[in-house]
Amino acid sequence: MQDLHTEIDSNVKQALVEDIGAGDLTASLIPGDKELSASVVSREDAVLCGVQWFEACFLALSSDTTVHWFAKDGDTVQAGYKLCEIKGQARALLSAERSALNFLQMLSAVATQTKYFVDAINGTQAVIVDTRKTLPGLRLAQKYAVKCGGGINHRFGLYDGILIKENHIIAAGGITAALRKAQEIVPPGGFIQIEVESLQELQEALTAGAGMVLLDNFTLAQLSDAVALARQQTGDQVLLEASGNMTLENVRQVAETGVDRISIGSLTKNIRAIDLSMRFSGVKEKF
């Protein structure tokens, strides 16, 4: 996994280049020595996330920018809450504004959505897990946001774990053959998980020594049967993960079947940005 600070620098550089290009034409209307202050307010209840990305956008254009926060990543804030105050060189603040807000709105949205699911299964043994269904180039950022919302990260990419899905099983010659090959090649510290689509496939995976099983698109009744089967044969030795068509309306019922994890792609791919407002004013005093 790439270092978070390195990833933030990369994300911010790409965002600013994309937005500013050869130069911010509109910001050039403002005198170069003018300073401004601004505040950011959340217009809705949310879980804050993206503080480091937000700050990095302004600092990349002017190292003299100062940001004073009234909340931190992972905090739940109410509609109308002032998140931060900013002061700095006017052109830098205006040029970085959109990119900074894009990161803060998007990552807060992921954290907020994750928190909804985490709260929905509170009191069960299950945890909420993310997937690789992330926005291209922003996987580490979005997985960080999932953690801020109380969720758990699955593998970060194809390099840090083996997840044997339907097409891998077909290509490898079956569940047993795929698991045996995976057991030969898994790196130290890596994990092996296999996807099954029926109780019959689950039984084959258990017989072949699976330690992590992804129960794909099982009904609630099938999930309960799968948990009973796995516990009867292996105790608590096999980790069971439910996936497919998870919503806030059904996720608690899924958790109550006894599965260990529930993976949800919509945490990172179906995102509605949190509504944030950034308002500027003249500089009056230091923070």
Q: Is 236 a catalytic residue?
A: no
To 5 degrees, how large is the angle CA 256–CA 258–CA 264? 75
User: How many whole angstroms separate alpha carbon 210 and alpha carbon 24?
Assistant: 56
Q: Is 216 a catalytic residue?
A: yes
The number of CA neighbours under 13 Å toward the Cβ of 142 is 26
- Pick the catalytic residue: 7, 195, 201, 241? 195
- Pick the catalytic residue: 13, 165, 272, 279? 165
- Pick the catalytic residue: 216, 225, 256, 275? 216
Which residues does 31 contact at the CB level (< 8 Å), separation at least 6? 90
Long-range residue pairs from 204-207, CB within 8 A, at least 24 positions apart, any chain: 204/174, 204/175, 204/176, 205/175, 205/179, 206/230, 206/233, 206/234, 206/238, 207/176
- Pick the catalytic residue: 82, 132, 133, 252? 133
User: Nearest 10 degrees: CA dihedral of 236, 237, 238, 240?
Assistant: 30
User: How many whole angstroms separate alpha carbon 275 and alpha carbon 218?
Assistant: 35
**CB–CB of 34/84 below 8 Å?**
no
Which residues does 164 contact at the CB level (< 8 Å), separation at least 6? 172, 175, 178, 179, 182, 192, 193, 194, 195
Q: Is 98 a catalytic residue?
A: yes
- Pick the catalytic residue: 75, 82, 85, 98? 98
Segment (H or E) for 170: helix 166-172
AA letter at 17: V
The residue assigned the tokens 């109780």 is 199
Looking at the annotation, which residues are catalytic? 98, 133, 165, 195, 216
